[in-house]
Amino acid sequence: MKTVVRYLSGSLVFVAAFGIGAPARAESAAVTVDQWQWSITPYIWFADTSYRLKGDGRDIGAGDVDFGELADSLDGAFQIMAETGGGRWSGFIDFTYISTADEKQIDIAGLGSLRISSDSDQYFVDAAVAYWPWRDVSGFNMYAGIRYTALDDRFQVDLVDPDVRLGQISSDRDFFDALIGFRDRYKLVEHLDLFIRMDYGFGDSEGVFLAQGAVRWAVGPQRRQGIVFGYRYKDAEFRQSGLEERYKYKGPVVGFNFHF
C-alpha cells in the first residue's frame, strides 16, 4: 500500500503552478511597460505531501511522504514557466513533466516473495491570460485560464521465486479545470522584489487551491535576470471512478528567472 500511495502522491506533487519568477513586466528603466517582454523560469518545488485516499467512500490510506522519499524514485523531471506580453495584457504557460519508477519486494506468508514494480508519467499544462489594470504604478494582475492534468500510473506484481507474473494494473486519468487567480509584486529594497500569488481551479477536479510567496533577487546585466526563492502551499482534491484523492503540498521553491 505504501508503494501505491507513494506513486499516487508522486503523480501530483509537481502539479503545475503558475510562475514562481517575475511576470513579463519591466524590471529596468531601459524598458517601458508597452514593449513586448518575455519571462522564462525553470524551477523546482521541494514539496512534502500529505495524502488521504478513499475508495467508494471508505478510507483506504492516509499519511505523509517527504520530498526526499519521492526523489529516490525519480526517473526524470522538467518544469518551466514562460510568460510574454506588453501593455495591460500578458499570457503565460506552465509545463511540467515528471517520471518515476520503483521496485519493492515484500514477503507474504504461504505465497512467497512478491515484487511490485511501479512506473508513472505525468504531464501538467497550465495556460492563462493576465490583465494588469494599473500597469504604470502596480504589479497587481488578475488571470484566468485552464489547467490540464494527465496521470498515467502502472503497477506490476510478480512472484519472485519462481519468476511468475501475477498481474498488472494501470490507471490513466485526465482532468480539465478552469482557473482564476491574482498575483502582485512589492519592491522590498533595491533589486529585491516580493511576489505573491493565489488561485483556485475547478471543473473536473473537486477543487485546487494554491498560495505562494517568493522573493526575486535581480542579477546579471541591467539586473534583468533573477534568482527566485519562495514557499508554496497547495490543496488538491480529485474524484474519479470511485477513487477520492486529497493532497496537501507544502515546501520551498527555487528557480532562475530569465527576463528579456
Nearest to 75 by CA among 13, 15, 14, 120: 120
- pLDDT higher than 80, residue 59: yes
What pLDDT shows up at residue 84?
94
By residue range, what is the domain housing residue 25?
2-259
Nearest to 65 by CA among 250, 220, 232: 250
Q: How many CB atoms lie within 10 A of CB 234?
A: 22
Among 5-14, 76-85, 90-99, 207-216, whose mean pLDDT is lowest? 5-14
Mean pLDDT of 21-36: 52
Q: How many domains does the chain have?
A: 1
Highest mean pLDDT among 88-102, 109-123, 199-213: 199-213
- As given in the structure block, the three cell numbers for residue 171 are 490507471
How far are the Cα atoms of 40, 68, 72, 115, 190 from residue 252, in angstroms, in the given order?
19, 13, 18, 34, 23
pLDDT band at 129 (very low <50, low <70, confident <90, very high): very high
* Residue 4, phi-psi category: left (phi > 0), alpha (psi -120 to 50), beta (remainder): alpha
What pLDDT shows up at residue 116?
73
- Supply the CATH number for residue 116's domain: 2.40.128
- pLDDT higher than 90, residue 140: yes
| Strands, E assignment, 32-189 | 37-45, 48-55, 58-65, 74-86, 89-108, 112-131, 141-159, 164-189
Mean pLDDT of 155-179: 78
Mean pLDDT of 191-206: 94
What pLDDT shows up at residue 165?
67
- pLDDT higher than 90, residue 64: no
How many angstroms separate the most distant Cα atoms in the chain?
Answer: 75
pLDDT band at 34 (very low <50, low <70, confident <90, very high): low
- As given in the structure block, the three cell numbers for residue 4 are 501505491
pLDDT band at 2 (very low <50, low <70, confident <90, very high): very low
pLDDT band at 197 (very low <50, low <70, confident <90, very high): very high
Higher confidence at residue 34 or residue 160?
160
